[in-house]
A and B are shown apart, each in its own frame.
Chain A
Amino acid sequence: MLLNVTNLDVSYGAVKALHGLSLEVDEGEIVTLIGCNGAGKSTTLRAVSGMLRPRGGSIAFEGQNVTGIASHKLVERGLSHVPEGRGIFANLTVAENLALGAYARKDRQSLADDHERALVLFPRVKERLKQLAGTLSGGEQQMLAIARALLARPKLLLLDEPSLGLAPQLVQLIFSIIREINKQGTTILLVEQNAHMALAVANRAYVLQSGEIIKSGPAKQLLDDPDVKRAYLGA
């Protein structure tokens, strides 16, 4: 088990965002969290990546307890988070953004290989290496954000709403790349509003509602689930 979250409690002040959330991610999987606005999807990712300190419960990564460990240390262990809204460093060039992705890495030898691999996945990013990242389009920025996270050589990649604000065609492209990244051996935990796309690409899925998991199972099965269909797929 790569990631094991048990009974996670997170609050923002007095407001409880997650109560008793448990989920697990196996090596090589794509797991997705779907749910409405405010269900706690992003909060879950932030807690897993150490940006929020949980009130209770535990998070284990590769069998080791990592509850309460700072984000930047988790990056070194192989857990990368692509935050919602991309988090591009707008005043730095694309190449500098990529270099920051590899900031936490100790091994510099294979860096060129990883750059090459990330740029083969995202040829659009490669065309714009010397450009300021703030001048990229929304889709390109999302690609850069994912490429940058890959340079940390994550074992587990947390993606927060990669389809946010993108044209349908770009959403297709991003999701096919996500599948490709997964095939190359990176486990992915994906948070999405676009439940259709997320369920199509994922192996397993959890459905979140007001901070609790109300359903889970293989993605294919949830795609046909009448409740999920009605609530999230609009069918």
Chain B
Amino acid sequence: MQTLDYAIPGTRPTQPGWVTFVPPLAVLMLALLMHYCVPFLGAYAERIMTDMAIAMIAAMSLTIVNGFTGQFSIGHAAFMALGGYTAAWCSYYFCLRYWGQTAVVPGTLFGTHQLILLCCALIGGAVAAGAGWVVGLPSLRLRGDYLAIVTLGFGEILRVLFQQTNSQALSKPELANRPLFGSDPTNPGWVFPPGVGGSLGFTDIPKSTNLFLCYLLVGLTFLFAYRLKFSSLGRALLSIREDEIAAEAMGVNVTRLKVRAFMFAAFFAGIAGTLYAHQSGTTLRPIDSGFIRSFDIVIMVVLGGLGSISGALLAAVIITGVTAALLGLTDYGLLPYRMPVFALVLILMMIFRPKGLFGVHEIWDYLPQFGRKGAK
């Protein structure tokens, strides 16, 4: 057998077994570091950093479908909201039935509530992934603008559905008196129709999101997206984005992979939504499923460069940071002008750097020692 002087993509060089555990451990350390920074940060900075983490997970997950696979989805917030609502419904009623209240001790690293949150995040992610499957199916036939409209419509449908839910059950004894499934509007069931706040929004969700969990999940999402991008499966997704016919000619099952991309993206969006729902100071509202929220995520992905994970991360940090900074304009009555500022930033970006910050590449491709030819 002759030897090649380059590594064939997809064949991994042999490495000692422990190397596999380095990235997850690094993620764990980062998350712990974040947690122990909290006392020095103050509540405001903690809040902003939580927002950033949620935005990062959402942006990375959208990168899988918009960036890698090239299927333009503008309904991503709907998956977030669906995951958030599902998880919040689970944790809210779980806490209410077992403890009669949903208060959470703040400042815990990993307590019972965080464990519940993690489980609920998996449930929320799974339900969102199921929805991703449903939305992915029409994408087999639709392309470009048409697919975008379907995803947009999905978000609006969900928003209206959330508005039609019951306002929530309030106390433990009340809950005990309710039937499982109820058709009587004066005494709705506690499973169906779900009491998740209706148009007023879902309040009193356990506030169990903390920086540790946020950054743990940011790290895990990053590892997933990174491993996906540089795997055979990820290359196949990229090939669909580049040229569907040629991808099919390579033996890539285009239809199946498109749906799978939607499911991956929706799963992590569901997790981001879960963290969002359980964040202190938020009310989960139907509007969270709407177009405006989706568009925020699209901005991050486009700004970072379609297909760039590190670009999406950086853009999520920048957008969230700038939004927070612009909140300072409130004092001068300039707050309504932040959206035009974003629009202007996007227009300038499209003129001067139409591929986004990094294009399809990662931030380290631009460092001289790792740089690849042709990446400019």
A residues whose Cβ falls under 8 Å from a Cβ of B: 49, 51, 70-73, 75-76, 80-83, 86-93, 95-96, 98-104, 108, 111-113, 115-116, 119, 129-132, 134-135, 148-149, 152
Contacts and interface: CB of A to CB of B under 8 A. Distances in A.
Nearest to B251: A104
28 contacts: A71-B249, A71-B251, A72-B252, A72-B253, A73-B251, A81-B249, A83-B245, A83-B246, A89-B246, A91-B242, A91-B307, A91-B359, A92-B239, A93-B372, A95-B6, A96-B9, A96-B238, A99-B235, A100-B252, A103-B251, A104-B250, A112-B8, A113-B1, A113-B2, A116-B2, A131-B374, A132-B373, A148-B250
Contact of A89 (B1, B243, B251): B243
A42 to B, nearest CB: 12
A49 B232 CA distance: 23
B121 interface: no
Contact of B239 (A70, A73, A100): A100
Contacts of A98: 8-9
Contacts of B254: 72
Interface string B244-260: 01111111111000000
Contacts of B373: 130-132, 135
A98 B246 CA distance: 12
A95 B245 contact: no
Interface residues of B, number: 33
Contacts of A70: 248, 253
Given A71-B249, A72-B253, A103-B252, A89 B6 contact: no
Given A89-B239, A95-B9, A100 B250 contact: yes
4 nearest A-B pairs in the assembled complex, by CB-CB distance? A104-B251, A87-B246, A75-B251, A132-B374
A87 B245 contact: yes
Interface in B326-373: 359-360, 372-373
A95 B373 CA distance: 12
Contact of A130 (B245, B250, B253, B372): B372
A43 to B, nearest CB: 14
B155 to A, nearest CB: 29
A111 B243 contact: no
Given A72-B252, A75-B250, A75-B251, A99 B243 contact: no
B14 interface: no
